[in-house]
Amino acid sequence: MLFKIGRYLMTPGAKMALLAFALVFPFLASNEYQVYVMASAFVWAIAVYGLNIITGYCGQLNLAHGGFFAIGAYTLALLTADAGWSFWPAFVAALLVSAALGFLVGIVSLRLKEHYFAIFTLCVGFIIYLLIDKWEELTHGAIGVRNIAAPSGFGLVDFTETVPFYYLVLAFLVFCIWFMGRLSRSLLGRTFIAIRNGDELAQSLGINLMRNKILAFVLSTTYAGLAGALYAGMVRFIGPEEANIVHTFDMITYLLVGGIGTLMGPLLGTVGIVWITQSLQFLEEYRMIIFGPMLVVLVIFFPRGISGQFLTWMHHKAQSMGPGKKRKENKVQNASTEEAKNNA
């Protein structure tokens, strides 16, 4: 019975049902604040998908990811609030700036390996935070940037309203997930996974390590910049705290809980934790007393994350079935095996 349910969850129909629920969610929500929370969760999920590219698929722990989120947010904020740009040109500029800076940082940082790379990117993230906080002539320092432009609806829709903006973010999230799915099944995605499994193995296969690592890093920072730009357009006021290194560790937590190196893990982990923290708001500063142990228990019993553990279980279940049933469930086995191996 559980295997049949799991088999259904891996079908395109289940994904369409999930999309349908997202589309009708504003009509099911009891108030506008819940729609705002879900839109915020979707924005962070986009950033976590970017982290999944460099960390989940390529195996490089980037601790400056939150800094690139802030770069995207500040690029859009400064161009719209100070330079007078409209939202969409500033949005494109935010993506380009995030990608360009990601390329420059990647050229230097990706010469390092393992924990040396992580420590270097942690320093980069802290430098980004200091620049935003102290460079008052450019970033306005602790005062932050106000009056950030909202997305233009070209006279058709008002994105300053919560529900239209929710659907805008949902559209970007769907595109990011679609792109991630295509990437994970492509030759480039398998190249990233080969690098994650070991530099020596990847080199023996003729893979150019530096070029592919930089490409993964740039894709990751572009995702972060996209999420940051959407975030700035949503809240319309940002400060140096957007670059705080804490946000990077929040995103790592979302990724670990959902399932690192999986397609749906970033979405499940981000949305789940955001709503759990929102439901514990009434406890104020004591909410971490409950949320902390819950997170520890989840990591202990689901070390591969929710999505990763599910895919692993499906793979083992398919392997334990008889030959006749194996042929019957061949599509499920192939799908679960591929992603479970990627998550191993």
Residue 305 lies in a domain: no
Dihedral sign, CA of 38, 45, 165, 167?
negative
Q: Does the residue 26 lie in any domain?
A: no
Residues spanned by the domain of 97: 36-241
Which amino acid is it at 302? F
Query: Is residue 201 in a domain?
Result: yes
> Residues 46-105: pLDDT tens digits?
999 999 999 989 989 999 999 999 999 999 999 999 888 999 999 999 999 999 999 999
Q: Would you give the DSSP letter of residue 285? A: G
pLDDT given at position 307: 73
The total of structural domains in the chain comes to 1
pLDDT (tens digit, 9 = 90+) per residue, 6-48?
Answer: 565 567 777 788 889 999 999 998 899 999 999 999 999 999 9
Q: Is the pLDDT of residue 264 over 90?
A: no
The whole-number pLDDT of residue 332 equals 47
Q: Is 158 or 63 the better-scoring residue by pLDDT?
A: 63
Share above pLDDT 70 across residues of the chain, in percent, rounded to a whole number? 84
From 7-21, 63-77, 216-230, 306-320, the region with the lowest mean pLDDT: 306-320
**Sign of torsion over alpha carbons 319, 320, 321, 324:** positive
Please report which confidence band the pLDDT of residue 227 belongs to, taking 50, 70 and 90 as the band edges.
very high
Q: What span, in angstroms and rounded, lies between the C-alpha atoms of 267 and 272?
A: 8
Backbone torsions φ then ψ of 238, nearest 5 degrees: -135, 155
Mean pLDDT (the chain) is 85
Residue 6 lies in a domain: no
Question: Burial level of 196, CB count in 10 A (0-12/13-18/19+)?
Answer: buried
Bridge partners of residue 238, in order along the sequence: 145
Q: Which of 20-29, 49-58, 107-116, 294-303 has the weakest average pLDDT?
A: 294-303
Q: What is the Cα–Cα distance from 82 to 330, expressed in whole angstroms?
A: 58
Q: Would you say residue 248 lies in a domain?
A: no
**pLDDT exceeds 50 at position 278:** yes
Work out the burial of residue 277: count CB atoms within 10 Å of its CB; fewer than 13 is exposed, 13-18 middle, 19 or more buried. Answer: middle
Residue 110 pLDDT > 80: yes
Token pair of 147, please?
A: 């009056």
Residue 333 inside a domain? The answer is: no
Q: What angle do CA 202, 96, 60 make, to 5 degrees?
A: 30
Q: Could you tell me if residue 314 is inside a domain? A: no
Q: Give helix then strand counts, H and E, for the chain.
A: 17, 0
Predicted pLDDT of residue 316: 65
Question: Within 13 A of 210's CA, how many CA atoms are on the CB side?
Answer: 7
Q: What is the maximal distance between C-alpha atoms in the chain?
A: 70
Q: Is residue 192 part of a domain?
A: yes
**Residue 63 pLDDT:** 92
Residue 230 has pLDDT above 90, yes or no: yes
> Averaged over 130-140, what is the pLDDT?
91
Q: Give the pLDDT mean for 120-130.
A: 94
DSSP 225-251: HHHHHHHHHHHS-B-GGGG-HHHHHHH
Q: Which of 62-71, 209-218, 303-312 has the lowest mean pLDDT?
A: 303-312
